[in-house]
Structure 1
Amino acid sequence: MSKVTIPLFSEDISNFSKALRAQLSKAEGVPNHLALMNMLARAAGYQNLQHMQANAAAERRLNQSAPVEDVDHRRVERALRMFDDEGRMTVWPSKRAVQDLCLWVFWAALPRGKVLHERDVNAILERLHLFDDAPILRRTLATQGFLTRNTDGSDYRRVEQQPPPEALVLLAALK
């Protein structure tokens, strides 16, 4: 089996070496190959070697041509599983982090600078999901700050903001 090269990058070599030294000082004797690789991965900010490998594999699968800093490719890949080939959400994710990322797809579909009625928002959301629950999407968009609305539930407006890097990667993958 051929080995897959996994790049290792650290913003600050000093912090990297301090984290590695702290782990080595706790080790009894000379660590074996796998233990040392886990230490290197943890010093680089990953949970362990497997987390580092999974992140690198997800990045390759997403065919990232230009590296985007601070992107959790595993999280983007999990969010992509919630959508069909036509870009419609098939199920509401159970994990909050994936829900928050998926909301950007709905946010991006809302027109900017336009006041919408509840039925208009529902119509847009209905086109983008298959689990037939536009109210949960609409309420979640409002409570998470993607939409503003009047207290009586009328006059919705998209809140303009810069999507995080993961959302940009997700939106690009769904186009």
Structure 2
Amino acid sequence: MSKDVIPLYVADVSAFTKTLRKSLSDQDKLPGHAAMMALVAKAAGFQNHQHLKAAKPADDTPLDELALKRALRVFDDTGRMFRWPKWTKVQGLCLWPFWARMPAHQDMSEKEVNEILKSGLSFDDHVLLRRSLIDHKLCERTIDGRVYRRIEQRPTPEALALMKRLKER
């Protein structure tokens, strides 16, 4: 006999575990609050309470429209960057489209990285972008600078919005 999967949504896990703990008060030895929270998280299919907290859906925080607007200003109608932004926050945001062009889980030579960067630039300073990718922790390289690799991570909501708007141009 198959079991029906019944999804459980708990808005406040802490309050849920306190209530559950109170309902189990007739037992001799009860686990503490933290242990109960871990048990509930494990029962829900997570490794532990921290894993449950990390998996919660992102809140609907508004995008930083000013940074997004400033980032869009440095790209032309074809989606190529024509100047380097002066604000550090915007610089980091503008690197995401270049990060997305780099192949995932693949070692690249400096020459290959330069070709990727040059294809998205209309000014002649791909070295600045290459260094900035390292500084903003979007890319890593070996000490001798021979091998580059994209650091796998989830783009920020602003980065996703920037890449989407650049694609729509």
Q: TM-score range by the shorter chain?
A: 0.5 to 0.7
CA offset digits 1:65-107 (Å, max 9, x no partner):
xxx6331112111100100011000000111111011011111
Tell me if structure 2 keeps the 8 A contact 1:69–1:165.
no
The answer to whether residue 66 in structure 2 is matched with residue 74 in structure 1 is yes
Q: CA RMSD in A?
A: 1.0
Distance 2:99 2:118 in 1: 13
Normalising by the residue count of structure 2, what TM-score does the alignment of the two structures yield? 0.62
CA offset digits 1:100-158 (Å, max 9, x no partner):
11011111111101110000000000000111111110011012111110011111000
Letter matched to residue 157 of structure 1: R
Distance 1:77 1:148 in 2: 28
Matches within 5 A, 1:23-172: 69-172=61-164
Distance 1:151 1:143 in 2: 14
Distance 1:138 1:104 in 2: 12
CA offset digits 1:11-38 (Å, max 9, x no partner):
xxxxxxxxxxxxxxxxxxxxxxxxxxxx
Letter matched to residue 70 of structure 1: P
Tell me if structure 2 keeps the 8 A contact 1:82–1:93.
yes
Tell me if structure 2 keeps the 8 A contact 1:107–1:146.
yes
Distance 2:62 2:142 in 1: 35
Larger Rg: 2
Identity of aligned residues (%): 47
Q: What is the number of residues matched between the two proteins?
A: 108
Structure 2 portions without partners, runs of 5+ = 1-59
Tell me if structure 2 keeps the 8 A contact 1:70–1:165.
no
Distance 2:105 2:84 in 1: 27
Query: 1:31 maps to what in 2?
Result: none
Distance 2:61 2:87 in 1: 23
